[in-house]
């Protein structure tokens, strides 16, 4: 898409009413402005999210730990301390357990633990917005970095039974003689994992995809940057989705399964922490292609 600005004004030294029609191609300006808005949005959310996450983290840990202890004390009939307390207070543990089950207490305790887990994973994501970096930057072999996380992804996804990652085809298109890239390995791997997870989820969303799901992974470099690209052949993004995918909490997934933080955290890691570029190419039905550009020199 190109953007044009059209202006009309009268020709000053003409008395015949001649008019000048001027058309400027302002595509670069528009794209630059969009990038600027995105980057400012991320900066403000960055500070806020990191601060909030720190504040919420401690009470949340307290809630989860207390719920776990409560669960143990209420439901573990084998625990000597529980048996002793029941004896001292004249409570029949078997009857008590039945009562708890009638009232759905174990299920409620499980719900607290699950809700806590979910809140905690959101907090962890929000903490990634903070600039404090515990993983020092050093140079890494990009192929090794990608292959390592790919292996982890397939183990992780299969383990959690989200989908069969091994059923997804993987085509590797790596240039030869790639330079080592200065970066924080754990952060870049977190970004790649987010992209793989999104792609896999998108491709497996269709009930029985007409074409088998497949990733194309590319790595290449130029003088300035090393590029890592992850393309999928899923349903792709419409223009509205494309506009918002980097916004924090934007998700099209059902409540409980997506936080909408994956891509915004990734965007922040690449553009703010690494001063790199993060682009997406996609159209409805065309799959999605995410390109990370990491600077090779400071």
Ligand X SMILES: Nc1ncnc2c1ncn2[C@@H]1O[C@H](COP(=O)(O)OP(=O)(O)OP(=O)(O)O)[C@@H](O)[C@H]1O
The yes or no reply on residue 209 touching ligand X (CB under 6 A) is no
Asked if 128 is part of the footprint of Mg ion (rule: CB under 5 A), the reply reads no
Q: What is the DSSP letter of 268?
A: H
Tell me if 252 contacts ligand X by CB under 6 A: yes
Residue count of the chain, please give it.
Answer: 298
- Report the partner that residue 202 touches, choosing among Mg ion, ligand X, none (CB closer than 5 to 8 A by kind): ligand X
Stretch that binds ligand X, among 53-61, 135-143, 176-184, 246-254 (CB under 6 A): 246-254
Closest contact distance (angstroms) between CB of 123 and ligand X is 12
φ, ψ for residue 20, nearest 5 deg: -100, 130
- Answer yes or no whether residue 234 interacts with ligand X by CB under 6 A: yes
Residues 158-172: b if buried by 16+ CB within 10 A, e if exposed = eeeeebebeebeeee
Give the burial string for 89-114 (b: 16+ CB within 10 Å, else e). Answer: eeeeeeeebeebeeeebeeebeebee
In sequence order, the 6+-apart residues with CB closer than 8 A to the CB of 236 are 202, 282, 283, 284, 285, 286, 287, 288
Give CA torsion, residues 136, 138, 140, 145, to 10 deg. 10
For position 198 contacting Mg ion by CB under 5 A, the verdict is yes
221 lies in the binding site for Mg ion (CB under 5 A): no
Residue 288 touches which member of ligand X, Mg ion, none, C-beta under 5-8 Å by kind? ligand X
* Choices 96-104, 105-113, 209-217, 233-241 (CB under 6 A): range interacting with ligand X: 233-241
By the rule CB under 6 A, 251 interacts with ligand X: yes
Nearer to ligand X, 181 or 192 (CB): 192
Binder among 184, 190, 194, 273 for ligand X (CB under 6 A): 194
Which residues inside 119-138 make contact with ligand X, applying CB under 6 A? none
Sign of the dihedral defined by the CA atoms of residues 21, 26, 27, 31, in that order? negative
Q: Residue numbers of the site for ligand X (CB under 6 A)?
A: 194, 198-199, 202, 232, 234-237, 241, 245, 250-253, 258-264, 288
């Amino acid at each position: 898409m190109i953007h044009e600005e059209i202006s009309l004004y009268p020709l000053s030294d003409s008395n015949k009413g001649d008019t000048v029609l001027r058309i400027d191609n302002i595509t670069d300006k528009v794209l630059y402005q969009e990038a600027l808005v995105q980057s400012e949005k991320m900066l403000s959310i960055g500070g806020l999210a990191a601060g909030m996450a720190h504040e919420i983290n401690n009470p949340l840990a307290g809630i989860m730990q207390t719920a776990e202890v409560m669960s143990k004390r209420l439901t573990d009939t084998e625990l000597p301390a529980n048996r002793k307390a029941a004896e001292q207070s004249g409570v029949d543990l078997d009857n008590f357990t039945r009562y708890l089950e009638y009232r759905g207490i174990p299920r409620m305790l499980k719900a607290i633990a699950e809700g806590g887990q979910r809140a905690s994973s959101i907090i962890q994501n929000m903490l990634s917005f903070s600039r404090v970096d515990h993983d020092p930057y050093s140079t890494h072999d990009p192929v090794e970095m990608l292959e390592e996380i790919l292996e982890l992804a397939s183990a992780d996804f299969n383990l959690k039974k989200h989908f069969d990652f091994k059923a997804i085809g993987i085509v590797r298109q790596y240039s030869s003689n790639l330079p080592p890239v200065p970066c924080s390995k754990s952060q870049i791997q977190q970004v790649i994992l987010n992209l793989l997870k999104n792609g896999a989820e998108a491709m497996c969303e269709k009930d029985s995809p007409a074409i088998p799901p497949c990733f194309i992974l590319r790595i290449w470099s130029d003088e300035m940057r090393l590029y890592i690209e992850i393309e999928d052949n899923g349903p792709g993004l419409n223009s509205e989705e494309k506009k918002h995918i980097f916004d924090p909490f934007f998700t099209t997934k059902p409540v409980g399964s997506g936080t909408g933080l994956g891509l915004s955290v990734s965007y922040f890691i690449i553009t703010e922490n690494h001063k790199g570029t993060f682009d997406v190419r996609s159209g409805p039905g065309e799959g999605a292609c995410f390109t990370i550009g990491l600077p090779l020199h400071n």
